[in-house]
Structure 1
Amino acid sequence: FSFSTEHNGWGSYVADVSSYANFNFKAYQRKFDVMNRGFSGYNTDWALPILRQLLPTAEQQTNSQNRIRLITIFFGANDAALPFAYQHVPITRYMDNLSEMIDMIQNANSKYHNPDCKILLITQPPVNEVQWRKRCDENGEKMNRTAEVAKSYAEAAKQIASQYNVPVVDLWSELMLASEKSDLSDFLLDGLHLNTKGNGVGIGQGFIEGNQCKFPGARSSNDYYEAP
């Protein structure tokens, strides 16, 4: 459940078996159904009503053999647009929205409560201002993202993860660390959207490590193959 499926984003990365083969996503084939529900350009304000439509109610879960085992929540890059941009969501409301998403699943009083569902939060990536300014200039748009604001939204996501005791893939830090040996442009297609390498270093590896360590019960080795 994420902010974008464009430009080799997380959604398209999960859907591309050849891209994530090196990070062992294939281990989940025929064991789990991976549902890609990324929405291009969305922020948390727009995503909340969509999530209410996607999540099964507690009653529906009782009447179904299929249960959600793990959900990843990946928002921030659009929320962190500068205030004049139409995608902007103030950071306090961004945090409230993330909290509501988690509460919908974790809170026992929620109609969508799912005690078996694990949650993995993913921070937004860093912004390469040089690349993104070029992209904005080419489109005749005003520069609408900054590295400093991106960092603050990534930190905000980590605060929410800590508050709810939810594991987090710190994508911002992962890519900043990786870029010390090269440059952010090696991992970002246009200064904002991840390329294949960025997905692999930032999310692919982080997802596998986070999932195996934090949710040992969800390891692919612990589950049987499912018939088509």
Structure 2
Amino acid sequence: MLRPQFVLFGDSLTQQSFDPAGGWGASLADAYARKADVINRGYGGYNTRWALKMLTRIFPQTAEPPRLVTVFFGANDAAIPGRLGERQHVAIPDYVDNLRTIVQHLQQLRAGSILLITPPPVSDQGRVKYNCELQGVTEVTQIPERTNAFTGQYAEACKSLASELGLPVLDLWGLMQQERDWEAELFWDGLHFTSKGNAVVYKHLQALVDEQFPDLRAEDMAYDFPHHSKFDPANVDAAFQ
């Protein structure tokens, strides 16, 4: 029996999700060990416009459709025009259209389940501090290049599209702000997750998968091959029949 594939598609927040120090993608892979192959297709710095350029290569028509796909973009699309990082900016209407195109392609491939993830909140102060340290200055003009309020508009747009398409959505922008001291505890640079931030993402993602896709609950999925306890040393082949 071939394992189903779970594909995590997104930007650096997905690329870094396999961090061995408790990345949310690594935690997901651990939960589904021997039950599903969790594949990281995260691309640091990418926005939805650039993601479309590789969409058919990552999800070709000839491949076996993935059983689950998470689509996690928006943190870079929400870079503010006229500030550091503006080359990554994608206007909200285009962001929504790009997400829709990604979803439609996955639906044409008959991907089993599709789950959208909103961009997470941004610590304005954390971004200012990080950019100052990066540039070796005490004050930087035109920063922060991302703000929580502006990113929140993209989160709302993502949620609205999910509602329109009848897809589940993980509202990280809202959920993470409910955590105590979220700005300092969940983000190391105001944008990317700390170990605690990754744990929060995994907790809510796993809960949503369990709720929306009961057949994908890790505890209910079978191993791809028999457990070793099933082997009779005199007739191991019997366990594989």
In structure 1, list runs of 5 or more residues that go unmatched.
107-112
Alignment check: 8 A CA contact 1:23 1:205 kept = no
SS at match of 1:37: strand
Report the counterpart of residue 194 of structure 1 in structure 2: 193
The correspondence of residues 200-215 of structure 1 with structure 2, limited to 5 A, is: 200-201=199-200, 203-215=201-213
SS at match of 1:177: coil
Q: 2:195, 2:52 → 1: CA distance?
A: 28
Report the counterpart of residue 119 of structure 1 in structure 2: 114
Alignment check: 8 A CA contact 2:122 2:191 kept = yes
* CA shift for structure 1 position 103: 0.8
Letter paired with 1:147: N
Q: Which structure carries more relative contact order (alpha carbon 8 Å, separation 6+)?
A: 1
Q: 1:223, 1:15 → 2: CA distance?
A: 25
Q: 1:18, 1:74 → 2: CA distance?
A: 18
Report the counterpart of residue 109 of structure 1 in structure 2: none
Alignment check: 8 A CA contact 2:18 2:25 kept = no
* CA shift for structure 1 position 18: 4.8
Q: 2:220, 2:66 → 1: CA distance?
A: 16
SS at match of 1:34: strand
Gap change, CA 1:17 and 1:127, over 3 Å in 2: closer
Report the counterpart of residue 80 of structure 2 in structure 1: 82
Letter paired with 2:146: R
Gap change, CA 1:24 and 1:137, over 3 Å in 2: closer
* CA shift for structure 1 position 50: 1.2
Gap change, CA 1:153 and 1:18, over 3 Å in 2: closer
The correspondence of residues 114-193 of structure 1 with structure 2, limited to 5 A, is: 114-140=109-135, 142-143=142-143, 144-178=145-179, 181-193=180-192
Percent of aligned positions that are identical: 37
* CA shift for structure 1 position 21: 10
In structure 2, list runs of 5 or more residues that go unmatched.
1-8, 226-241
Choose between structure 1 and 2: higher strand proportion: 2
Alignment check: 8 A CA contact 1:23 1:208 kept = no
1:45 aligns with 2:52: no
* CA shift for structure 1 position 127: 0.9
Alignment check: 8 A CA contact 1:175 1:184 kept = no
The correspondence of residues 43-122 of structure 1 with structure 2, limited to 5 A, is: 43-57=47-61, 60-61=62-63, 66-84=64-82, 85-106=86-107, 113-122=108-117
Q: 1:27 aligns with which of 24, 27, 31?
A: 31
Gap change, CA 1:47 and 1:222, over 3 Å in 2: same
SS at match of 1:10: helix
Alignment check: 8 A CA contact 2:52 2:98 kept = yes
SS at match of 2:78: coil
RMSD, matched Cα = 2.3
* CA shift for structure 1 position 23: 6.2
Q: 1:20, 1:158 → 2: CA distance?
A: 21
* Count of aligned residue pairs for this structure pair: 209
How does the TM-score come out when normalised to structure 1?
Answer: 0.84
